[in-house]
């Protein structure tokens, strides 16, 4: 059983309706930082274990708990810990309390997530900022150069223009596309949630396909030059950008990062120097096999609990722990969280629905019972 007890910073504090570290119940919801991601869901298997031990004196299946306190900063200690304790952590599979159901009105199981790669780069022109009247037209402006270089990374519809970026992508099958199309997703609702004026992205794919099953190359930050009040007539001598890529099977983070770096080197405008920093977190994409034993149990439990079969969904984000468990221990991760994606984790006024807490207690107990029978 995996979970994490660390949380994101609560800022901005003035946006909270109640103190972030003083839990408060309002309208059937518990509000506090980390209550949905991941303290509330992590508490569920702990309480279920307590209940079994208090009533039966034993658990119906062998369980090992692995809770960490560094998930929100990329789990830097988790990989060496797992690598050093492979025998201790040997198991049939991981049941994760972390994660989230897709919607509150529809039971779901996350069966795939995108991987991640990234880098940061700097373009440097002159040795210092220069007077734009005295030197304008004679030296390169680093901001102009970074804008040109960033623009070279995409086609007009957002498709990555990096050579080889899509070479290893395993496309969706006809059945997979049909399964995604059958999910209750509406572009208009999505636009209302995000506030975006229109959807945008790679031609030939639906919004859900682009978010869950296609790779992306995103500029996360772009900065340089004078940003204070008023004007300052300078030619900025340096400018910076941060890039992350979300990856799908069978893309390799290291290879994608190398291809992006080669693109930057080949397209750097004249008059500036390029410096690349490879210090971003990397993770492989993840896919739970369709016939996995844990997936079958989770499907049965949720169908019993909600009276309808859960849908299988994907996650556009990255779940590095699943890749670690698979690579180091040879086991898959079944995500069995009772958070839902609308509970504002990482944002002010994070909350956890109390009815989900109760449902989770029932579901985890039933899962362990069925897993014990399965053994």
Q: 153 by DSSP, 3-state: which?
A: coil
Claim to verify: residue 335 and residue 364 sit in the same structural domain: yes
Enumerate the H helices of 12-39 as residue ranges: none
The CA distance from 235 to 148, in Å, is 16
Claim to verify: residue 99 and residue 224 sit in the same structural domain: no
**In contact, 101 and 339? CB cutoff 8 Å:** yes
Residue 95 resides in a domain:
yes
Task: For residue 323, give Cα distances in angstroms to 102, 158, 331.
Answer: 21, 27, 9
Residue 63 resides in a domain:
yes
Element (H, E) at 368: helix 354-374
Q: Report pLDDT digits (tens) over 20-77.
A: 999 999 999 999 999 999 999 999 999 999 999 999 999 999 999 999 999 998 888 9
Residue 194 resides in a domain:
no
Residue 297 resides in a domain:
yes
Instruction: Pick 323 or 15 by higher pLDDT.
Output: 15
Q: At 90, phi and psi to the nearest 5? A: -55, 135
The CA distance from 243 to 114, in Å, is 16
Claim to verify: residue 91 and residue 227 sit in the same structural domain: no
| Burial of 179 per CB tally in 10 Å (0-12, 13-18, 19+) | middle
**Residue finishing a domain among 239, 260, 277:** 277
Q: 260 by DSSP, 3-state: which?
A: helix
Q: Report pLDDT digits (tens) over 144-192.
A: 999 999 999 999 999 999 999 999 999 999 999 999 999 999 999 999 9
Claim to verify: residue 156 and residue 262 sit in the same structural domain: yes
**In contact, 23 and 11? CB cutoff 8 Å:** no
Q: Percent of the chain scored above 70 by pLDDT?
A: 100
Per-residue pLDDT at 219: 98
Claim to verify: residue 298 and residue 266 sit in the same structural domain: no
Q: What sign has the CA pseudo-torsion 77, 346, 98, 118?
A: negative
Q: Report pLDDT digits (tens) over 181-232.
A: 999 999 999 999 889 999 999 999 999 999 999 999 999 999 999 999 999 9
Per-residue pLDDT at 318: 87
Write out the two tokens for 325: 């468990």
Instruction: Pick 280 or 343 by higher pLDDT.
Output: 343
pLDDT of 375 > 80? The answer is: no
pLDDT of 320 > 90? The answer is: no
pLDDT of 80 > 70? The answer is: yes
Instruction: Give the predicted TM-score (pTM) of the model.
Output: 0.88
Range of the domain at 16: 2-113+285-374
Claim to verify: residue 33 and residue 109 sit in the same structural domain: yes
Mean pLDDT over the full length of the chain: 96
pLDDT of 279 > 90? The answer is: no
**Residue finishing a domain among 234, 257, 277:** 277
Per-residue pLDDT at 160: 98
Claim to verify: residue 248 and residue 125 sit in the same structural domain: yes
pLDDT of 242 > 90? The answer is: yes
Q: How far is CA 101 from the centre of its chain?
A: 14
Per-residue pLDDT at 319: 85
Q: At 297, phi and psi to the nearest 5? A: -65, -45
**Residue finishing a domain among 277, 295, 330:** 277
Residue 186 resides in a domain:
no
Claim to verify: residue 260 and residue 296 sit in the same structural domain: no
- E-assigned strands of the chain? 2-4, 24-26, 29-31, 66-68, 94-96, 108-113, 115-124, 130-131, 216-224, 234-235, 238-247, 273-277, 286-287, 311-315, 333-335, 351-353
Element (H, E) at 25: strand 24-26
Number of continuous H segments (helices) and E segments (strands) in the chain: 11, 16
Residue 325 resides in a domain:
yes
Q: What is the CATH number of the domain that holds 331?
A: 3.40.630.10
Write out the two tokens for 68: 């960490």
Q: What is the CATH number of the domain that holds 266?
A: 3.30.70.360
Instruction: Pick 298 or 282 by higher pLDDT.
Output: 298
Claim to verify: residue 129 and residue 21 sit in the same structural domain: no
The CA distance from 70 to 281, in Å, is 13
The CA distance from 75 to 68, in Å, is 8
Claim to verify: residue 265 and residue 324 sit in the same structural domain: no
The CA distance from 375 to 373, in Å, is 5
Longest dimension (CA), the chain: 83
Write out the two tokens for 100: 């989230």
Claim to verify: residue 107 and residue 158 sit in the same structural domain: no
- The size of the chain, in residues, is 375
Q: 232 by DSSP, 3-state: which?
A: coil
Q: How far is CA 135 from the centre of its chain?
A: 45
Residue 185 resides in a domain:
no
Other beta carbons within 10 Å of 29? 18
Claim to verify: residue 263 and residue 297 sit in the same structural domain: no
Look at the chain and report how many structural domains it folds into: 2
């Amino acid at each position: 059983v995996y979970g994490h007890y660390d949380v994101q910073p609560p800022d901005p504090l003035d946006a909270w309706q109640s103190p972030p570290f003083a839990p408060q119940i309002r309208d059937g919801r518990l509000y506090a930082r980390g209550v949905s991601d991941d303290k509330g869901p992590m508490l569920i298997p702990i309480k279920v274990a307590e209940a079994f031990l208090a009533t039966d004196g034993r658990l119906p299946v062998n369980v090992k708990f692995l809770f960490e306190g560094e998930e929100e900063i990329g789990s830097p200690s988790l990989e060496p810990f797992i690598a050093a304790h492979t025998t201790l952590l040997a198991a049939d599979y991981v049941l994760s309390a972390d994660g989230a159901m897709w919607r509150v009105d529809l039971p779901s199981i996350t069966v795939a997530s995108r991987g991640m790669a990234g880098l940061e780069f700097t373009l440097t022109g002159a040795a210092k900022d220069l007077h734009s009247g005295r030197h304008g037209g004679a030296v390169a402006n680093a901001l102009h150069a970074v804008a040109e270089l960033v623009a070279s990374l995409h086609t007009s519809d957002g498709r990555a223009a990096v050579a080889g970026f899509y070479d290893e992508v395993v496309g969706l099958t006809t059945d997979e596309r049909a399964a995604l199309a059958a999910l209750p997703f509406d572009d208009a609702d999505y636009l209302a949630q995000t506030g975006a004026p229109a959807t945008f992205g790679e031609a030939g794919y639906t919004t859900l396909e682009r978010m869950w099953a296609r790779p992306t190359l995103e500029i996360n930050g772009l900065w340089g030059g004078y940003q204070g009040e008023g004007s300052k007539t300078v030619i900025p001598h340096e400018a910076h950008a941060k890039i992350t890529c979300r990856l799908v099977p069978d893309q390799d983070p290291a290879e994608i990062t190398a291809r992006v770096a080669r693109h930057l080197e080949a397209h750097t405008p004249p008059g500036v120097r390029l410096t690349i920093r490879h210090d971003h977190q990397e993770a492989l994409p993840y896919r739970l096999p369709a016939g996995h034993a844990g997936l079958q149990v989770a499907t049965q439990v949720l169908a019993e609990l909600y009276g309808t079969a859960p849908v299988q969904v994907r996650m556009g984000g990255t779940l590095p722990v699943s890749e670690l468990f698979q690579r180091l221990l040879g086991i898959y991760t079944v995500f069995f969280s009772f958070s839902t994606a609308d509970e504002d984790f990482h944002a002010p006024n994070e909350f956890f629905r109390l009815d989900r807490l109760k449902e989770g207690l029932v579901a985890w107990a039933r899962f362990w019972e069925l897993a014990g029978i399965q053994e």
